[in-house]
Structure 1
């Protein structure tokens, strides 16, 4: 005779799901700094979009393993202001919608609302556009006219969601350039 405990399998699945957590920040700048501090301290962390119920003024959070919560909180202390660390259920991935458009002489890579255009022949960035964040003009002046392989990461230059999306577009553009996928 086999005895079944109601809900036992469900509880095991829920416990496995609850191994992840997210750190909630008040601003995009703090979230970007938070991810860097977590990684520098030797822990895995990735930027995600927090579920609507957990948003507290910022559309970015850092996903972590909850078992590392105490050590990560210590690493963040005094370096980055965060609102709290919460268990995470379900998916909270940033949309990874990257679109690529090939023109006769250029390639345009779009991530979110941000676009980067580079020359197929030289790898030189010829345009950056999109978004509505205050650092987009600054990013434009720092990156246009430079080679994809020699620029600093856009997310290191800016402190907004636009800079993060431009960074995602730049990563894809760099992969296209290095991989020779120019058509």
Structure 2
């Protein structure tokens, strides 16, 4: 561990010596982000899909955050899958920090997780999905009909039955809800 790392808060951005710990992969289309996430996770990488910082005005509404130290290997893995990011940006300051995709609201008896424009709400006692809302993609009503009334973790995950950005965002909300509701 470097001397400066002793005084750094986890996830606080670049180190005092100016070196960034994390990088962002910027892609043109959401489908590329989804493929990159799968390829990188399958290769054992610790990555997160996040919202892009406001300073990055190109590409889609998602970025992949990765350990910058692994940049060359990440590029090699992506190239092997036929993926090429528009840009690889080091997180060099708080203004370039990616935005967390999740917003959580506790309604007392119910808990709602929002990811991008999709919301998933469960009954906190029974863990039954009581509402799915948001998005404008054609598969949202079908996904909602399949999920509402199901206990969290039982039945299909949104990614298994949806095929659009809304289905992907709902799956992120679903996975976050599972994580938050696990004992």
Same-fold call, TM cutoff 0.5 = yes
> Normalising by the residue count of structure 1, what TM-score does the alignment of the two structures yield?
0.71
Residue matched to 2:39: 37
Structure 1 residues 47 and 96, CA gap change in structure 2 (3 angstroms) = same
Residue matched to 1:4: none
Distance 2:179 2:24 in 1: 29
1:170 deviates by 2.7
Structure 1 residues 85 and 178, CA gap change in structure 2 (3 angstroms) = closer
Residue matched to 1:52: 54
Are the aligned partners of 1:98 and 1:111 in contact in 2 as well (CA < 8 Å)?
Answer: yes
Out of 17, 20, 23, the position equivalent to 2:22 is 20
Out of 56, 75, 81, the position equivalent to 1:73 is 75
Out of 61, 85, 88, the position equivalent to 1:85 is 88
- RMSD between superposed Cα atoms in Å: 3.0
Distance 2:179 2:80 in 1: 36
1:144 deviates by 2.5
Aligned length: 165
Structure 1 residues 120 and 144, CA gap change in structure 2 (3 angstroms) = same
Distance 1:47 1:122 in 2: 29
The worse-fitting range, judged by mean Cα deviation, of 125-134 and 153-162 is: 153-162
SS at match of 2:152: coil
The question of 1:101 aligning with 2:93 is answered no
Residue matched to 2:144: 140
Distance 2:51 2:177 in 1: 23
Distance 1:178 1:64 in 2: 26
Where does structure 1 differ by over 3 angstroms across 4 or more consecutive aligned residues?
117-124, 155-165, 171-179
Instruction: Describe the superposition over 1:94-118 as per-residue Cα deviations: whole angstroms up to 9, x where unpaired.
Output: 2432112235xxx251415433234
Instruction: Describe the superposition over 1:128-154 as per-residue Cα deviations: whole angstroms up to 9, x where unpaired.
Output: 112233432232133223221213333
Are the aligned partners of 1:139 and 1:158 in contact in 2 as well (CA < 8 Å)?
Answer: yes
Distance 1:138 1:78 in 2: 35
Are the aligned partners of 1:31 and 1:61 in contact in 2 as well (CA < 8 Å)?
Answer: yes
Segments of 5+ residues of structure 1 without an aligned counterpart are 1-11
Segments of 5+ residues of structure 2 without an aligned counterpart are 1-14
